[in-house]
Structure formats: structure tokens, C-alpha cells
Amino acid sequence: MIRKSFILYSLLLTIGFGIMAQSTKKPAAKTVIQQEMLPAKEVTTVTPHQAAKPKLVVGIVIDQMRWDYLYRFNQLYSANGFKRLLSEGFTCENTFIPYTPTYTAPGHTCIYTGSVPAIHGIVGNNWYDRSLNKVVYCTDDSTVATVGNNSDAGKMSPQNMWATTITDELRLSNNFKSKVIGIALKDRGSILPAGHSANAAYWYDDKGGKWISSTYYMPDIPAWVKDFNAKDVVATYMSKDWNTLLPIDKYDLSTPDNEPYETSILGETTVTFPHKLSATGASKYSSFRTTPFANTFTFDFAKQAIENEKLGSNTVTDFLTISISSTDYIGHSFGPNSIEIEDTYLRLDKDIADFLQWLDQQLGKGNYLTFLTADHGVAHVPAFLAEHKIPGGTFSDADFTKEINQTIETKFGIKNIVQSIQNYQVYLNLGEIEKQGKDKAAIVKSVIDLLKQKPYIVNVFETDKIMQATLAEPQKKMMTNGYNPKRSGDVQFTFKPGYFDGGTKGTTHGLWNPYDAHIPLLFFGWKVQPGKTNRETYMTDISATVAAMLQIQMPSGCVGKVITEVTK
């Protein structure tokens, strides 16, 4: 005991004298880095250190989820779904989409690139390609083939997206050791988030109700996917009817069940509960998309992907992107005030609670990072608004096309001047105007004057002259961010709130208005402290924030800012 005390005493004396001696010496010359980075007369020793990373990042996008759904149905939600994300996670209450059109493809692209259509190139779900003289789909790729089925639904890839994604940057950060997989019923909801360098992306094929992919990713789908498909889970779901989760009189936040402006599920003849899914017959695999059970199906497939691909057991962080698509199909058909949408979100809440609990058990609480957001919101059904004396209405792009073509043919002798109307923009046949030697400026002015006559249209302008257009904020910024000279149309039109291109039933989205552009954004899990911010944040900020948390580069077209409240 005495010997140990003596040794300890001697050691302390040695350290003490060492410190005194050091204080009398001249400071060592600073390294170049120290000279450049540190204030004068200050030296800091930094020990290199690799910060701990989450085992898995899970991005969840709820297709067509309005921000207010977080709170509108809150009293009926369980304790462990949306409420858990709100109480244990960080919520950005005023997150907006900073561009138009607010559609699925640009939404998913923006979330994962942190960029806008002007830069990343995905200007809509569809656009007119002048070089091909046809309308193209956002993920079309004729150079690849379907794997997992013999349909053409797998001829898809991310080739039309010009920028990298946060998932690409994660793979680039560690020489492609991270594993990245995308999952969604919709091809665009899987392919665009997973990025260019993904290990796999899977989407749903109506032909046989199977998960498929593309030769862009793999020569054939893995055995575990084949096993999952072989169970024909969809047929089991569709053999039962869709009844409300709660007694139907509990749905007092919704309109009555039988509304004339609702659209029935394919194969059904009514719009009321119970929905006779068992009677949809040959259309059952397509009709499945418009049921809440397809959301459960998606989460179940995601669990299988995590288990079989061993996501989260890597030496580096892995990334799984999940898009929940059925909320969009149901919302389009029945509208945001329907019992169908309310029931769908109550069921989705349970799916989320189950998935989070499963991740806790599979990876351990706090070992995974999740964000939940939406690609866009949705407008109220105009007929519903009319019932309550609120302005709104619909119009037809097809009618516009016919009217413009007739006018220009009469005045200038050019037939079929409109090549397409997409994303509230008119694509004109500029080549034919030049070929016939006609006055382009006069033709464009005639198109603008014609559209301005519509009582619900507020403004019309040439897209390449948007900076000269008199537009209110945030319209101008959003439309500028959505304009891409390679892919956008020639003339853009705007209209009164509550109006959109559509029919007399159902609803849609795509505009600058808050009902389409105000989305939820919650971060949860690894290093996320509970809290919220009411300051304005943007969809573009998501990938910037995740990049900061993972200490990797932002995507190549990212214009977003880090949400510092999340990273503290």
C-alpha cells in the first residue's frame, strides 16, 4: 500500500514539473493549418475522431399528405404513431414546397436532391420533349427491361434526373459501402429518391400484384422478393372488404359517406362503406392501390428488405427510402374531407406505430434516423367548397387545347399549334411557326390574350420572361424555381385559389397554394431532440439537414439550408 502511494506521489510530481517546464519553453511553430485557421497566439490540439453514425436512415414520404392531417385527426391517433413522432421527434411546422408544379415526381426529387426543377430537371410527372416530339414520363427509360415480371412496367430508371440525391452522396462518401434501397407502389416514388447509384429500387406492378424492378439495378430480383411475391398477399387483402376501423358515426370530422363528387374504386359501383373489394374481380390488383391495405403492404415489404438485405448491420450507414402511395390514390378519388381519407390516416397511424416499434427491436432505439414528410398536399373538392359557399372550380386543359388551336388556325393558318399542355404550361409548335415564317410574337400574344379572357385565370405570361411578369410572392419564386428552359412550356397561366384542371368528381394538386404546398416535416431518432420550430422551412432543406447530420456532402444541385434546430 505504501509502495503504491509512493509511486503515485512520484508520478504526480513528475507531471507537475513537466507542466512547469513546458510553460517556460517557447511555443512550437504553428503548422500551416494552425496558422491559417486559428487566431493569433492560440494553439488548439484537435484529436481526429469519427463521429458515431446511425445504422440506418429511413426516409418516409406520405404521398399527398396535407400538413393539417397531423392535427386534424390527432385525437383519434394512437400514442405511438404520429403522436410519437411529434412528442419524441422534432417537427418543422411551416415547411413549404418552393416551386411549382407540386406533383409527385418533382416532390420526391426535391426531397432527396434538395434542389428545384430548374436545376434537377424533373419539371413534372410528365413534360413535352421537343427533341422526341412527344410527352415523356419522368422515369421512362427504353434502354432497360423489367425484372420480376414480363410487363413493360419496369422500363424505368432515374436517367432523367440531372442532380445527385442524398442517397447518392451517402454512397459516394464511403466508396459505395452504404447500401441504398427505394420502395414505393409508384415507380417514381421509389426510383427518384433511391438515386442514380442505388443498390435497388422496387415498385408495384398491377400485373399480378408483384414487386418489380429494372435491369438498371439488377439482372433479376432477389430470391427474397420472389418469395414475397409468391405469397400473393394482395389477393388475400382483396378477398376481404374495407370497413371503417372505428364505428362509422365516430368519423364526425368528415362529410357524409355518400357524396356525389366522390369517385368509386375501380371495379366498384358505389362510393360507400363497406367497400366491396372482394367484388372487384379482374381489376383487384389495380384496385388494391386505392385501399389503405396497400400502405401496410408497403411497410411489410420494407421490413423484408431491411431483414434480407441486412440494412443497418453494415459498417457504415445504410439508407432506405419508403414512399406511401395509397394516400394519394384515395385522396384523388374521395377528397380530403371524406371518411375514406380519415380512415386511411387512422390506419396509417397504426402502420407507422408498428414500423417504429419494429425498428426499435430490429436496430435499437436511437440507432436509426427517420424523417417523415410529403411530396405535396391536395386541394378541396370544388363541389365540396361550393356546398359551403367557398370559391373554387375546375376547367379542362383539353378544352384549352381545342380553343387555342382553332383560334390560331383561323388567324394565322397554322394547324395544331399546341403540342401539349402540361403542368399549367402551353407547349407551342415553334418549329412549325419558324417553318411557315409566321410572326412568333403575334401568335404568342394571341394565345396569352385568349387565356386571359377566362374569368378564373388571373395571369398569363411567357415562361422565359417570368422575371418581367407581375406576380405576387411566393408565386414568382415558386414558378421561377419550376421553370427549366430545356423542359418547360412556352406560356404559363395562373388562376384563382380553389381552381384546377379536372373533372366534376375527385380532386388534385399541383399549384403554389398552401393547400398544395404546405407539408409536414418531422425528424425522429438518432441524435434528434424533441422540439419544434414555427419558422418557415422548405422541402429543399431536408437533404441539406440530413447531409449535415451524417457529415457528408450535399447533393450536387442542392439549394437548401440546414435546419440547425434539428442538428443541435
Query: Does residue 46 fall inside a structural domain?
Result: no
Query: Does residue 13 fall inside a structural domain?
Result: no
CATH of the domain at 191: 3.40.720.10
Domain co-membership, 524 together with 439: no
Structural domain containing residue 470: 393-496
Q: What is the dihedral of CA 223, 226, 227, 230, to 10 degrees?
A: -160
* HEC string for 150-175: CCCCCCECCCCCCCCCHHHHHHHHCC
Determine contact, residues 291/284, Cβ cutoff 8 Å: no
pLDDT score at 19? 38
Query: Does residue 442 fall inside a structural domain?
Result: yes
Domain co-membership, 200 together with 240: yes
How big is the chain by its Cα radius of gyration, in Å?
28
Dist CA 196 CA 555 (whole Å): 12
- Bridge partner residues of 324 (DSSP): 62
Dist CA 514 CA 94 (whole Å): 10
Domain co-membership, 220 together with 321: yes
From 104, 146, 296, 321, the catalytic residue? 104
pLDDT score at 52? 87
For residue 474, is the peptide bond before it cis, meaning its omega torsion is within 30 degrees of 0?
A: yes
Domain end call among 496, 527, 557 = 496
Query: Does residue 425 fall inside a structural domain?
Result: yes
Question: What are the cell numbers at 392?
Answer: 373554387
Q: What angle do CA 258, 261, 263 make, to 5 degrees?
A: 80
Whether 344 is catalytic: no
- Bridge partner residues of 373 (DSSP): 61, 521
Dist CA 118 CA 558 (whole Å): 11
Domain co-membership, 314 together with 353: yes
- Bridge partner residues of 200 (DSSP): 181
Determine contact, residues 109/115, Cβ cutoff 8 Å: yes
Q: What angle do CA 187, 116, 496 make, to 5 degrees?
A: 95
Strands, E, within 262-417: which ranges?
A: 318-324, 368-374, 393-395
Half-sphere exposure of 304 (CA within 13 A, CB side): 17
pLDDT score at 321? 99
Determine contact, residues 141/159, Cβ cutoff 8 Å: yes
Domain co-membership, 411 together with 294: no
Question: If we measure between CA atoms, which residue out of 460, 455, 451, 443 comes closest to residue 397?
Answer: 451
- DSSP secondary structure of 503-530: -SSS----SSSHHHHEE-EEEEETTPPS
Determine contact, residues 70/332, Cβ cutoff 8 Å: no
Question: If we measure between CA atoms, which residue out of 211, 262, 207, 210 comes closest to residue 275?
Answer: 262
Domain co-membership, 204 together with 269: yes
pLDDT score at 16? 43
Domain end call among 462, 496, 530 = 496
CATH of the domain at 408: 3.30.1360.150
pLDDT score at 51? 45
Q: What angle do CA 181, 184, 188 make, to 5 degrees?
A: 95
From first to last of its 568 residues, the chain has per-residue pLDDT tens of 434 343 334 433 343 434 334 433 333 433 333 333 333 434 333 334 434 899 999 999 999 999 999 999 999 999 999 999 999 999 999 999 999 999 999 999 999 999 999 999 999 999 999 999 999 999 999 999 999 999 999 999 999 999 999 999 999 999 999 999 999 999 999 999 999 999 999 999 999 999 999 999 999 999 999 999 999 999 999 999 999 999 999 999 999 999 999 999 999 999 999 999 999 999 999 999 999 999 999 999 999 999 999 999 999 999 999 999 999 999 999 999 999 999 999 999 999 999 999 999 999 999 999 999 999 999 999 999 999 999 999 999 999 999 999 999 999 999 999 999 999 999 999 999 999 999 999 999 999 999 999 999 999 999 999 999 999 999 999 999 999 999 999 999 999 999 999 999 999 999 999 999 999 999 999 999 999 999 999 999 999 999 999 999 999 999 999 999 999 8
Domain co-membership, 384 together with 398: no
Whether this prediction's pTM lies above 0.85 is answered by yes
Domain co-membership, 236 together with 314: yes
Query: Does residue 220 fall inside a structural domain?
Result: yes
Query: Does residue 12 fall inside a structural domain?
Result: no
Domain co-membership, 329 together with 277: yes
- Note the pLDDT tens digit of each residue in 476-509: 999 999 999 999 999 999 999 999 999 999 999 9
Domain end call among 439, 461, 496 = 496
Domain co-membership, 543 together with 452: no
Query: Does residue 507 fall inside a structural domain?
Result: no
Domain co-membership, 457 together with 404: yes
Query: Does residue 190 fall inside a structural domain?
Result: yes
Question: If we measure between CA atoms, which residue out of 249, 119, 2, 127 comes closest to residue 543?
Answer: 119
What are the distances in angstroms from CA 442 to CA 179, 405, 417, 466, 485?
55, 14, 13, 18, 21
Domain co-membership, 526 together with 433: no
pLDDT score at 453? 97
pLDDT score at 568? 83
User: How many structural domains is the chain composed of?
Assistant: 2
